Amino acid sequence: ETGVTQSPTHLIKTRGQQVTLRCSSQSGHNTVSWYQQALGQGPQFIFQYYREEENGRGNFPPRFSGLQFPNYSSELNVNALELDDSALYLCASSLISERETQYFGPGTRLLVL
Amino acid sequence: TQLLEQSPQFLSIQEGENLTVYCNSSSVFSSLQWYRQEPGEGPVLLVTVVTGGEVKKLKRLTFQFGDARKDSSLHITAAQPGDTGLYLCAGAPAFGNEKLTFGTGTRLTIIP
């Protein structure tokens, strides 16, 4: 059984740039959720995808967008990067029938300068 | 927006001591999870509690869900250096279609 993987592991961008983060779900999982974890904080829910459609969204602006592909892998896109976007971005996969049981990837650490 | 507050925020104790971490909210949750996160890694699920008053044990860790399903505690007996990490609670709302809400976290350090 393959766990959740994310790429890249680290990324440095400058203000105003755009970034794409990638996630491969755990085998058999049909739902993917993205979280932002600022330093010293708990993860904050960004959005969830199920069957390639957004299935819930947290309090994040539209410049945060995502995609889910037929193989259940996913992307998180952030446009017009701001300094406060610097954080660890976590992807978690689950089954839609067991939404509470989420398996997290190692995260992508994004630094915006 | 549902908030989960954890206390203490930081805890540093000697190996062999006992400790309790708390997770509190004014909202009702259908279930509550505890995770441990180590530096450079994502959170790892430790346990899910579902029923009010439920107690689950995982070796030296004891988890309890409050009777009203608004709070939870994690008790560690005879702490070991391997218990060091960030402990996060996360709640699934009882109503609506909102997703998991994470607590603020407790950073635990066990001193050998």
The backbone region for A16, taken as left when phi is positive above 0, alpha when psi lies in -120 to 50, beta otherwise, is left
Report how many Cβ contacts below 8 Å link chain A to chain B: 59
Tens of pLDDT along A10-26? 999 999 999 999 999 98
Give the C-alpha separation, B47 to B43, whole Å: 12
Q: Please, which pLDDT band fits residue A95 given cuts at 50, 70 and 90?
A: confident
Partner-chain contact B99 A101, CB within 8 Å: no
Rounded CA gap, B85 and B19, in Å?
14
Given CA atoms A91, A10, A67, A59 in this order, what sign does their dihedral have? Answer: positive
Spatial CB neighbours of B78, under 8 Å, sequence gap ≥ 6: B16, B17, B18, B60
- Closest to A37 in 3D by CA, of A113, A105, A101, A98: A105
Which residue in the block uniquely carries the two structure tokens 């971490």? Answer: B21
* pLDDT band at residue A94 using 50, 70 and 90 as cut-offs: confident
Residue closest to A33 by CA, chosen among A82, A105, A111 = A105
Q: State in Å, rounded, how far the first CA of chain A is from the last one.
A: 38
Q: B98–A56: do the CB atoms touch at under 8 Å?
A: yes
| A42·B104 Cβ contact <8 A | yes
pLDDT score of B95: 66
pLDDT band at A109 (very low <50, low <70, confident <90, very high): very high
Identify which has the larger pLDDT, B43 or A100. Answer: B43
Closest Cβ–Cβ partner in B42, B90, B105 for A41:
B105
Per residue in A27-68, pLDDT (tens digit) is 888 889 999 999 888 999 999 998 899 988 999 999 999 999
Taking an 8 Å cut-off on Cβ atoms, the answer to whether B41 and A101 are in contact is no
A1 pLDDT exceeds 70? Answer: no
pLDDT at B40: 82
**Contact residues on chain A for B98, CB-CB shorter than 8 A:** 56
CB contact at 8 A, B2 and B93: yes
Chain A residues with CB under 8 Å of B65 CB are none
B57 confidence band (pLDDT: 50, 70, 90)? very high
